[in-house]
Amino acid sequence: MKKRLLCLSLLMCFLICGCVRPAESNVSSSTEENSKSVINESEKTSQAVTEPTKPFGATTIDIVMIGDMLLHENVHDSGIVGDGTYNYDHLFTYIKDDVAAADIAIANQEVILGGRELGLTGYPMFNGAFEVGDALEKAGFNVILHATNHTLDKGKTGVNNCINFWKTNHPDVAYLGINESQEEQDSKIYVYEKGDIRVAILNYTYGTNGIPLPQDAPYIVNLLDEDKVRADIEKAKKVSDFVVVCPHWGTEYVYYATDYQKQWTNIFLECGVDLVIGTHPHVIEPVEWVYADKSNPDAHKMLVYYSIGNYVSGQDKADTMVGAMAQVTLTNDEEGNVFIKDYGVEPLVTHKERGYAKLAVYKLKDYTDELVARNYVRNSDSRFCVSYCKELCRQVFGSLYNE
């Protein structure tokens, strides 16, 4: 009896233990599955966070600008083809690759292009051929500045002829500084767009050589009027990320910034302009950064080219033969800030020989003593030579000039 009871007890323990083991196994299995589920969700979360997004791609915009296109009689004559037609492509032969490669290519068309019907004239009352405009467009210039002291040399007719020429023949070229209505002057803000960057460009002149604005067209040319300029810059900042002002200012034939230029530089800086490229003095002047607050690295700063001199002219002094092509590269960061990534100057030299297509503009680095000997400016200024041009660039541009 005792043996039977012992056997029954052992059997019951065996059965109980056998039931417990599978139960423990089930709990373990369930926990393992739950763990896998959590791991999988964690993996999904990790994948969602680290999944590569589209990388930020900075936009770059290359800007080039040439100085005064001053069309004296010998410049006019250089474009007369043997059959009596006119062509001025030769004026840009040695820089056209740089111009074509730029996003924004600006030319200061010092002389109004009123067309040959008004007569091609030089100093003091200039007028240029439409064919100069054709050559500018063909070379790759897409922004033409017309607010200069010679804008009104042929009156309202000259300006209207010029506007009609651009609108009819080259509608994709932006002409700045002249207007055909009050509404246009009040609202016209040119903006160039590429990628995530919008660049506004404004153009003004200090005056028009004493020629009054037409009574029925006071809007015809943009003057450096402080109220007007401040209002325009404010508008430009609302529709762009970077503001360029191209003023026709300064004093002829001096190599430094005058008080007048400094005064306007301060106004531009106060208004938040980013880049200034000036014209009019017919000689080169320095390039410098100006700062709203030098002690604060985050304060606004502005790059100023006070004068890039002549591009082409009939002037007969050695220093007026030397100009420069401004070169500026813009970019942006991930926060959308647009800034100047790089900048420099490419010194240029006007080469003058008589005959069709023999008047040209070279890069100084490509100009030779052989060309100097053929340049008839030597007849009026014996200082002119390659070394003179280089030394002038060293003195004015300093370390910015790299031979």
CATH code, 323:
3.60.21.10
Q: What angle do CA 207, 210, 212 make, to 5 degrees?
A: 85
Residue 36 forms part of a structural domain:
no
Alpha-carbon gap, residue 216 to 321, rounded angstroms: 39
Residue 34 forms part of a structural domain:
no
Q: Crossing angle, helix 130-139 and helix 155-169, to 10 degrees?
A: 40
pTM recorded for the entire structure: 0.86
Alpha-carbon gap, residue 27 to 206, rounded angstroms: 90
Residue 348 forms part of a structural domain:
yes
pLDDT at 183: 97
Residue 250 forms part of a structural domain:
yes
Number of domains into which the chain is organized? 1
CB atoms within 10 A of CB 142: 18
Per-residue pLDDT in tens (0 to 9) along the chain, 403 residues? 444 434 444 444 433 344 333 333 333 333 333 333 333 333 333 333 444 555 667 999 999 999 999 999 999 999 999 898 999 999 999 999 999 999 999 999 999 999 999 999 999 999 999 999 999 999 999 999 999 999 999 999 999 999 999 999 999 999 999 999 999 999 999 999 999 999 999 999 999 999 999 999 999 999 999 999 999 999 999 999 999 999 999 999 999 999 999 999 999 999 999 999 999 999 999 999 999 998 998 899 999 999 999 999 999 999 999 999 999 999 999 999 999 999 999 999 999 999 999 999 999 999 999 999 999 999 999 999 999 999 999 999 999 998 8
Q: Tokens 């009156």 appear where?
A: 155
pLDDT at 56: 67
CB atoms within 10 A of CB 356: 14
Q: Which range of residues forms the domain containing residue 393?
A: 60-400
pLDDT at 339: 97
Residue 265 forms part of a structural domain:
yes
Give the contacts of 327 (CB within 8 A, at least 6 positions apart): 62, 63, 64, 98, 342, 343, 344, 345, 346
Burial 286-300 (b: 16+ CB within 10 A, else e): bbeebeeeeeeeeee
Alpha-carbon gap, residue 267 to 203, rounded angstroms: 15
Report in angstroms the alpha-carbon separations of 88 from 79, 279, 312, 343, 357: 5, 22, 12, 29, 7
Residue 124 forms part of a structural domain:
yes
Give the contacts of 165 (CB within 8 A, at least 6 positions apart): 113, 115, 130, 133
Alpha-carbon gap, residue 101 to 283, rounded angstroms: 26
Q: Tokens 């936009």 appear where?
A: 59
pLDDT at 53: 55
- Indicate the pairing of strand 322-332 with strand 287-291: unpaired
Residues β-bridged to residue 225: none
pLDDT at 403: 86
pLDDT at 55: 63
Instruction: Name the token pair of 73.
Output: 């009689």
Residue 310 near residue 282 (C-beta atoms within 8 A): yes
Residues β-bridged to residue 191: 200
Residue 359 forms part of a structural domain:
yes
